[in-house]
Every structure is written in C-alpha cells, then in structure tokens.
Amino acid sequence: MENPFKQGVWDFSIAGSGSSDESFDNTGFSTSFNLGYLFLDGLEGNIRQDITYSDVEDSDDFSGSTRFGVDYHFGNWRFVPFVGATFGFLYGDNVEDQFIAGPEGGLKYMLNPTTYVYGQVEYQILFDDDDDDGRFVYGVGLGLTF
C-alpha cells in the first residue's frame, strides 16, 4: 500500500459519542474534529476541536478544548501507528479555563488508500492545577486523507 501520510496530504477525522436515559431527560454528547496537513512525509501539523454538552437534572453544561499538535506517522502499512504532542486551551461551564499540553499516540487502520478508522490516547497536563494533576483523553473515530 502506498504511504497515505505523505507530504502535501490533508487529513480530516471525526469522532463522537452520546447517551440518554429512556425518557431523554438526561442527555450528553461529545464530538471531536481534527484537521491536519502533512508538511513532510509522516509529519503532520494539526488543529483539533473537542466539544462536550450535557443536559442533566435541569442543568446544561458545555465544555471544549482547542489544541494544536504535531504527529509523526510510522510506516506504509495498513496499520499506521503515530505519536505526537499537543498544546491548547480547555474551557467551559464546569471546568477551570486553562492551558493544556501533553503527549499523544494512537493507531490508524487503513480501510482503503484514503479512509481509516483510528484510536488514540492523549495525556493532558493541566497548567493551572497542581503539578501532579492531569487527565487522559481517548477516542475512536473515522478519518480520511485528501
């Protein structure tokens, strides 16, 4: 398979989840969008937007994060591992607005030469909290290169 993550290629992905009780009184959803550009073979710069909304017991809550990152993709296989780092800002109704940064990694599985499913894990260091505080962010989704 030809390398789908070569210089000059754009990369877009989306992930999402949601839940509700049986009467739809308590509902929540989350989505993540990623847009990247490969500046060199395997080396991608990206911007990522996460949005979370919940409506639980007469309370609406919104939170989000906007991050910039760099990822390196290894190999030309159907399975494409990647590692990288992100830096951005966390904000919302029930979170402390603050800068975040940290490492990330994951695996993309190519369904065809331009479409993939992926899983990734990110550890976010929270700048305004204690030195030992952070959080894991993980997800699965669908992406395409063009």
pLDDT digits (tens, 9 = 90+) for 103-123: 999 999 999 999 999 999 999
Q: Quick check: helix, strand or coil at residue 55?
A: strand
Amino acid at 70: V
Residue 41 near residue 7 (C-beta atoms within 8 A): yes
What percentage of residues in the chain have a pLDDT greater than 70?
Answer: 97
- In this structure, which topology does domain 10-17+24-145 adopt according to CATH? Porin (2.40.160)
Residue 88 near residue 68 (C-beta atoms within 8 A): yes
Tokens of 81: 């591992």
Rounded Cα distance, 119 and 140, in Å: 4
Residue 1 near residue 145 (C-beta atoms within 8 A): no
What percentage of residues in the chain have a pLDDT greater than 90?
Answer: 70
For the cut 80, the answer to whether the pLDDT of residue 133 exceeds it is no
Rounded Cα distance, 71 and 21, in Å: 37
Residue 66 near residue 89 (C-beta atoms within 8 A): yes
CB burial readout 11-48, b (16+ within 10 A) else e: bebebeeeeeeeeeeeeeebbbebebebeeebebbbeb
For the cut 80, the answer to whether the pLDDT of residue 100 exceeds it is yes
